[in-house]
Amino acid sequence: MKTDWYKNAVVYQIYPFSFCDANNDGWGDIEGIISKLDYVRDLGATAIWFSPLYKSPDKDYGYDISDYRAIDEKFGSMADFDRLLDECHKRGLKVIMDMVVNHSSTEHPWFKEAITSPDSPYRDYYIIRPGVREGDKLLPPTNWVSCFTGTAWERIGETDEFYLHLFCTEQADLNWENPKVRQEVVDILNFWLEKGVDGFRFDVFNLASKVYPLRDDTAKKTFQKGAQYFVDGPRMHEFLKELNEKALSHFDCYTVGESYRPSPENAREYVKAENKELDTIFNFAHLESDNINGLKFFRKPFDLVQFKDGLFGPQKANFGEGWNTLVLENHDNPRSVSRFSIDTKHYRYEAATMLAALTFMGFGIPFIYMGEEIGMTNSHFDSIDEMKDPVSHFVFDLMHSYGMPKRLAFSFIKFGARDHARVPMAWNGGTNGGFNAGHEPWQSLYTEYEKINAEKDLAAEKSVYRFYQKLLAIKKTNPAAIGGSVEEYDHDSKQIMAYSREYEGTRLFVVGNFSKRPVQYRLPGWTKYAETLLDNYGEFSAAVGTVTLRPYEAAVLEVKA
């Protein structure tokens, strides 16, 4: 049943809240998405990953699901979804659903049952433990910390018991030790697969297995208390194999796992083809090159060598073993062109295209986040009140509670906020950036929409979208760009990133200048007879010897066998 369609796929991610609001109620919707499918297809995408469309009370904007088999009303109905699926397929676009099953919403009927009746079988669907009495205090069962700050345990009413939530309080962790929970997940996957969806993106999949019995984390050095007991847990590989046996392998289904800080060894095992666990996982290590230890709100000077290590590490590790993915943006990160010490004021087009060429010509499936293909920058938020993401608020409140002045705390939040990616997509310079017909959007508008929008980009001489079109056309068809081995050049350079891809004698050379100053670069001798396939200044001559790469200049050269 299973084919390799995903190996030369190009995935476009849609965050449904913010893509297009056809019924003008302030929320993006399925009708709006359908109206933009030609735009997505014409870009060169071959699949769409939809961030959750399911019923949700939106405490974490869709990542807290209260019914895994229902479409949330604000997006439309199941009939609308069926039409969306059909319209995607008609255009040759595969559909990848988000699957958030490490936790469910506390509004899910399972959870409601679990906490109201202590004898309910649903109690064992969650991780519920008695608190620890210390004098007249009732402490949480362990000292684990939520990925979203604060204790990972919430007391159940006035009882002595707590439930585990590794994210928001309203996202209760499911107990994967319980075979009934795993069967529920299998049934949910089969439900969507039978409808005809083509794949899943598993949210924080590698947190599903915990180390039992649960215990305090007493390690002195840890990035997060408890992580050693809930990241890459002992049954993780077994659980993934089970999902394959009982659901995924019966369909031509592609999977990508979003993992939370996996160890390099586990990361490799998850995607090793022979293991039959996942086809790919995301790699975000390079996105930590401008922040401190992956703490998104803490800026540090951009480190290109770290970016390269992060980006190429999995490409090298997985080559010949399993497949790979390539990511610059998603709904959890600020806009890439506003990062990495880039001068967007003068070189937004050059930098956006350079980042894309250097990242997506690597080994793996490009994942493009809506708006990235027109070089959308960060939005200029003026106050925390304009931000909707709970994480921005949690961290802001935490910083302030430690005495940090609000303005300073907000400057940290502005640097790393997920809200930058979640503002409505900028379609044109008109009312609400073309997101809808004028109703106030759920999230403040993209402040730059008059200057940066799809209509304007497409009409511009220097169009990021059109560059992406050319890049993706090469990426999907050139055998070296798809399956070629990767060799890095000049790894230690702090301005230049360069690598080759080689497949059956055809070689590509990908090179780019990450700085706003011209840099002299000596091309490898074998590029002497190369043809330029792509460049962002439109005049790269595949010259022999030393070339001067202009600010953010990038080129892809090819030498045929």
* Binder among 21, 29, 60, 161 for ligand NOJ (CB under 6 A): 60
User: For the chain, how many helices (H) and strands (E)?
Assistant: 16, 26
Q: Is 372 in the site for ligand NOJ (CB under 6 A)?
A: no
518 alpha carbon, distance to own chain's centre: 32
List phi, psi (to 5°) of 385.
Answer: -65, -20
Q: Which is nearer to ligand NOJ, 115 or 204 (CB)?
A: 204
Contacts 24+ apart (CB under 8 A), 82-86: 82/195, 83/30, 83/34, 84/30, 84/33, 84/34, 85/195, 85/196, 85/197
The C-alpha atoms of residue 180 and residue 527 are separated, in whole angstroms, by: 58
The C-alpha atoms of residue 248 and residue 246 are separated, in whole angstroms, by: 7
Concerning whether 58 is annotated as a catalytic residue, the answer is: no
What six digits make up the tokens of 503?
């497949």
* Binder among 167, 229, 251, 381 for ligand NOJ (CB under 6 A): 167
The C-alpha atoms of residue 123 and residue 169 are separated, in whole angstroms, by: 17
Q: Is 126 in the site for ligand NOJ (CB under 6 A)?
A: no
* Binder among 95, 99, 204, 426 for ligand NOJ (CB under 6 A): 204
Smallest distance, ligand NOJ to C-beta of residue 254, A = 18
How far from 338 is each of 25, 219, 378, 395, CA to CA, in Å?
30, 36, 6, 21
Residues 302-361 that bind ligand NOJ (CB under 6 A): 331-332
Concerning whether 203 is annotated as a catalytic residue, the answer is: yes
Which of 203, 279, 332, 457 is the catalytic position? Answer: 203
Place of tokens 């990241």: 231
| CA-based nearest residue to 509, from 538, 539, 529 | 529
Residue nearest to ligand NOJ (CB): 63
Which of 72, 161, 198, 258 is the catalytic position? Answer: 258
Q: Is 173 in the site for ligand NOJ (CB under 6 A)?
A: no
Q: Which is nearer to ligand NOJ, 203 or 535 (CB)?
A: 203
Smallest distance, ligand NOJ to C-beta of residue 171, A = 6
List phi, psi (to 5°) of 41.
Answer: -65, -45
Q: Which is nearer to ligand NOJ, 173 or 558 (CB)?
A: 173
Q: Is 203 in the site for ligand NOJ (CB under 6 A)?
A: yes
Smallest distance, ligand NOJ to C-beta of residue 442, A = 16
Q: Which is nearer to ligand NOJ, 60 or 558 (CB)?
A: 60
Q: Which is nearer to ligand NOJ, 203 or 373 (CB)?
A: 203
The C-alpha atoms of residue 540 and residue 553 are separated, in whole angstroms, by: 9
Smallest distance, ligand NOJ to C-beta of residue 384, A = 18
Binding mask 238-277 for ligand NOJ (x = CB under 6 A): --------------------x-------------------
Q: Is 556 in the site for ligand NOJ (CB under 6 A)?
A: no
* Residue 131: how many other CB atoms lie within 10 Å: 17
Smallest distance, ligand NOJ to C-beta of residue 60, A = 5
What six digits make up the tokens of 161?
């018991």
- Binding site residues, ligand NOJ, CB under 6 A: 60, 63, 100, 167, 203-204, 258, 331-332
Catalytic residues: 203, 258
